[in-house]
Amino acid sequence: MQAVMGQVALMMDGRSDVGAAGASRADRAMERYACGEDAAFGDVYDELAPRLHRFALRWTRSRSAAEDAVQQTLLQIHAARHRFARGAAVVPWAYAIARRLLIDLGRRGVREVLRADDVRDPEEPSAAPSPEEALHHRRVAAEARRNLASLPSGWREAFELVKFEGLSVAETAEVLGITRGMVKIRAHRATAALREEARRLHGSSESTTRPALRSPRDIEGGTPT
């Protein structure tokens, strides 16, 4: 959840940590694998697995479910080896497969359990310097997590893929199967909603009384796209 807060802080500064490192190496490795070099699948794994694992972990908040999703995604990629289009980008495809598997996982009821508020973020540090800071961090993290989770799924997915996974707008559009313009709109709306909540959170942490959180839909006054 520190990643969420860090990202919101970056957004407040008008910056983003979007990067596409590893994408071209993954494409090259997949191309070699599709061409018949069996050993290249190890490189495909090395390039994709950490990113997919992080993505799945954020989605499920369960190590075993995330590992299962990564394994299934990579086996799907392996199964489609003979159909891999020459010169195609493997990263958006891998994310699209992982997303579908995670949605199916969620439909089986896993996501609802794992997204419950009392489940700790695996990326969250286990120890805090002091009890007060730990309590504060936990509150802030819980608020941020709730804010992110309460975003309309379309906004949240676009936001997570662009801001956390470092995919480009074009790659995110491919993963979600929507247009680039729609990705920009969704990510922007999610950013605006989270920024507003972060401002409210920051303001309320300085005062003793804190007003109840509003949902991003109330803030935007709109409907999910």
Helix 23-34 × helix 40-60 angle, to 10°: 130
Which of 11, 65, 90, 161 is in the footprint of other proteins by CB under 8 A? Answer: 90
* C-alpha distances in Å from residue 208, one per residue of 2, 50, 53, 134: 23, 41, 39, 18
Which of 21, 79, 127, 212 is in the footprint of other proteins by CB under 8 A? Answer: 79
Q: Which is nearer to other proteins, 185 or 213 (CB)?
A: 185
Which of 16, 41, 196, 204 is in the footprint of other proteins by CB under 8 A? Answer: 41
- Confirm or reject binding of residue 109 to other proteins (CB under 8 A): no
- Confirm or reject binding of residue 120 to other proteins (CB under 8 A): no
Q: Which is nearer to other proteins, 19 or 50 (CB)?
A: 50
Which of 9, 20, 75, 116 is in the footprint of other proteins by CB under 8 A? Answer: 75
Residues that bind other proteins (CB under 8 A): 34-36, 38, 41-42, 45, 49-50, 53-54, 57, 66-67, 70-72, 74-76, 78-90, 92-93, 96-97, 99-101, 122-123, 173-179, 182
